[in-house]
């Protein structure tokens, strides 16, 4: 009522004034509040410089979300938190999308402390939360895709839950928590291939190598550090431990992830390519660099677009990130040919997208180039 105020005053046939106190100019006879209300002439609404005052009945304040939250596995509601492109909770469990029960179970199995449900169902997990700050619960207002009785954040908003789960011991192996071959070692160990590197995909190799040789039969962590030190954007492990690096990849094409099926020699539970198969990662966290106009290659070549869906930019980027071929998003905010989202699926070789074309603007095209090079 009246935006939470205690008193409302109706003046001059309908002006609506409100406050938590009144009377500094004194009280007047009721007969001076004699003007009929503009929209209800059966009532009076003050007069010129006269307020007809009403005391409002206080409404019960809604209970905090945490007080009414119904737990599934003993978790507690932690609050609504802001997110950004450099994620607050770093790990996405794709198989838990839209389903809080499944998301929480996977997160507990992985030994994570916090879950953030975002944009109606994205399942983000981690062991710290809050680097972008807390927001009012009302900003986390989207029903979950697979359980509309629950709330799953909103755009760049995480509904965060603290899980009731015993910490995993260091020896526990966690592999393919999200079902997408994003490799894990343990829930608590900080290794580059778990914390800092985004998996690109499985790629074919042959005797005329796709990538440059770096080391043989070391640890994955050692491989990634050596590749980073050489300034490469991509790191690869082949046949259990052979280490390669480059700034291009995919000359011989990508292959299904199941063909990169050889366990690493020094990290049990992690897959390190196969025979003439490279498991490839970016050496840094994936981000998207924006430029105006449609995308071109380093040589200035116009690149073929692949129509995706008429989705928001965030969802367009997420689909690109899950592809071994997609080097950029070409986005049309006002729409073109019935959609807004196009992918540049020429891979990460000579025809990789690098920027928007200089010069005359084509419609409202925006080019978002996918990069993942490690920066010290």
pLDDT single digits (tens) 24-49: 999 999 999 999 999 998 999 999 99
pLDDT, position 266: 83
Average pLDDT over residues 60-70: 66
Q: Where are the alpha helices (DSSP H) in 139-251?
A: 192-195, 220-229
Provide the 3-class DSSP secondary structure of residue 369.
Answer: strand
Average pLDDT over residues 305-333: 91
Indicate the DSSP class of residue 263: B
pLDDT digits (tens, 9 = 90+) for 193-214: 443 477 888 999 999 999 999 9
Are 76 and 66 spatial neighbours (Cβ–Cβ below 8 Å)? Answer: yes
* Domain co-membership, 70 together with 155: yes
Task: Inform me whether the pLDDT recorded for 225 exceeds 90.
Answer: no
More confident residue, 219 or 208: 208
* Domain co-membership, 303 together with 273: no
- The reply to whether 339 falls in a domain is yes
Which CATH number characterizes residue 313's domain? Answer: 3.50.4
168: pLDDT confidence band, cut at 50, 70 and 90?
very low
Are 93 and 87 spatial neighbours (Cβ–Cβ below 8 Å)? Answer: no
Of the three residues 259, 282, 305, the one that is the final residue of a domain is 282
Neighbours of 277 (CB within 10 A): 24
* Domain co-membership, 329 together with 277: no
More confident residue, 352 or 189: 352
* Domain co-membership, 298 together with 265: no
- The reply to whether 376 falls in a domain is no
- The reply to whether 234 falls in a domain is yes
Of the three residues 110, 140, 162, the one that is the final residue of a domain is 162
- The reply to whether 265 falls in a domain is yes
Nearest in space to 317 (alpha carbons), one of 339, 337, 342: 342
* Domain co-membership, 21 together with 90: no
* Partner residues linked to 81 by β-bridges: 134, 158
CA angle at 91 for the pair 219 and 231, rounded to the nearest 5°? 45
Number of domains in the chain: 4
* Domain co-membership, 203 together with 257: yes
- The reply to whether 72 falls in a domain is yes
Are 316 and 330 spatial neighbours (Cβ–Cβ below 8 Å)? Answer: no
Cα–Cα distance, 197 to 183 (Å, whole number): 9
Indicate the DSSP class of residue 265: S
* Partner residues linked to 295 by β-bridges: 356
Average pLDDT over residues 154-164: 93
Length reported for the chain: 376
- The reply to whether 171 falls in a domain is no
pLDDT, position 361: 94
* Domain co-membership, 134 together with 200: no
Cα–Cα distance, 283 to 229 (Å, whole number): 10
Q: What is the mean pLDDT of the chain?
A: 85
* Domain co-membership, 296 together with 217: no
- The reply to whether 116 falls in a domain is yes
* Domain co-membership, 72 together with 158: yes
- The reply to whether 139 falls in a domain is yes
Of the three residues 226, 253, 282, the one that is the final residue of a domain is 282
pLDDT digits (tens, 9 = 90+) for 335-345: 999 999 999 99
Provide the 3-class DSSP secondary structure of residue 247.
Answer: coil
Q: Which range, of 67-76, 90-99, 167-176, 339-348, averages the lowest pLDDT?
A: 167-176
* Domain co-membership, 207 together with 256: yes
Residue 293 — left, alpha, or beta (φ > 0 → left; ψ -120 to 50 → alpha)? left
Cα–Cα separations (whole angstroms), residue 301 to 135, 288, 292, 298: 45, 20, 16, 7
* Domain co-membership, 234 together with 309: no
Nearest in space to 110 (alpha carbons), one of 55, 57, 183: 183
* Domain co-membership, 46 together with 7: yes
Nearest in space to 6 (alpha carbons), one of 17, 158, 15: 17
Are 281 and 197 spatial neighbours (Cβ–Cβ below 8 Å)? Answer: yes
Nearest in space to 114 (alpha carbons), one of 132, 90, 150: 90
Provide the 3-class DSSP secondary structure of residue 318.
Answer: helix
Residue-range definition of the domain harbouring residue 278 = 192-282
Cα–Cα separations (whole angstroms), residue 213 to 234, 264, 276, 330, 353: 12, 17, 13, 33, 25
pLDDT, position 323: 87
């Amino acid at each position: 009522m009246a935006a939470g105020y205690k008193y409302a005053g109706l003046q001059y046939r309908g002006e609506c004034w409100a406050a938590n106190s009144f009377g500094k100019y004194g009280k007047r006879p009721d007969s001076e509040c004699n003007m009929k209300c503009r929209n209800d002439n059966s009532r009076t609404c003050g007069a010129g410089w006269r307020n007809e005052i009403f005391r409002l009945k206080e409404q019960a304040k809604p209970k905090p979300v945490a007080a009414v939250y119904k737990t599934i596995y003993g978790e507690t509601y932690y609050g609504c938190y802001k997110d950004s492109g450099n994620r607050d909770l770093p790990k996405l469990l794709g198989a838990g999308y839209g389903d809080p029960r499944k998301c929480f179970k996977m997160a507990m199995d992985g030994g994570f402390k916090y879950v953030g449900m975002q944009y109606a169902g994205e399942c983000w997990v981690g062991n710290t939360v809050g680097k972008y700050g807390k927001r009012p619960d009302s900003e986390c207002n989207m029903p979950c895709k697979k359980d509309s009785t629950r709330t799953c954040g909103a755009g760049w908003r995480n509904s965060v839950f603290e899980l009731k789960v015993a910490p995993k011991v260091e020896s526990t192996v966690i592999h393919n928590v999200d079902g997408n071959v994003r490799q894990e070692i343990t829930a608590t160990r900080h290794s580059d291939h778990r914390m800092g590197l985004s998996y690109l995909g499985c790629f074919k190799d042959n005797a005329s190598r796709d990538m440059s040789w770096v080391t043989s039969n070391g640890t994955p962590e050692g491989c990634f550090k050596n590749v980073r030190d050489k300034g490469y954007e991509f790191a690869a492990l082949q046949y259990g431990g052979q280490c390669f690096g480059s700034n291009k990849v995919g000359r011989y094409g990508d292959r299904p992830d199941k063909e990169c099926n050889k366990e690493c020699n020094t990290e049990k539970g992690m897959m390190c390519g196969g025979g003439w198969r490279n498991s490839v990662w970016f050496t840094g966290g994936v981000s998207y660099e924006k430029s105006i106009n449609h995308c071109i290659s380093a040589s200035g070549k116009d690149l073929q677009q692949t129509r995706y869906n008429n989705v928001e930019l965030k969802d367009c980027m997420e689909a690109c990130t899950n592809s071994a071929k997609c080097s950029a998003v070409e986005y049309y905010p006002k729409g073109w040919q019935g959609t807004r989202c196009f992918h540049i699926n020429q891979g990460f070789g000579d025809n990789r997208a690098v920027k928007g074309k200089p010069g005359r603007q084509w419609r409202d095209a925006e080019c978002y180039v996918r990069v993942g090079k490690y920066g010290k």
